[in-house]
Amino acid sequence: MGALGEFPREQMLAKLDAEVKKWTAADPGTPPCPACTWSR
């Protein structure tokens, strides 16, 4: 299950948001498309 099963949902979403900010700073001309899937 990887990272999605390792952290609580809110913490994982905060980590995803932090990564999006890093990618945006690294290449502002190519906006990231963050996504994750939870299936229960």
**The whole model's pTM is what?**
0.71
Query: What's the confidence (pLDDT) of residue 36?
Result: 74
Per-residue pLDDT of the chain (40 residues; tens, 9 = 90+): 566 678 888 998 899 999 999 999 999 999 999 887 766 5
Residue type, 16: L
Take residue 22 and report the two structure tokens written for it: 């890093």
**Distance from C-alpha of 37 to C-alpha of 15, rounded to nearest angstrom:** 15
Q: Which DSSP string do the residues of 1-40 spell out, in sequence order?
A: -THHHHS-HHHHHHHHHHHHHHHHHH-TTS----------
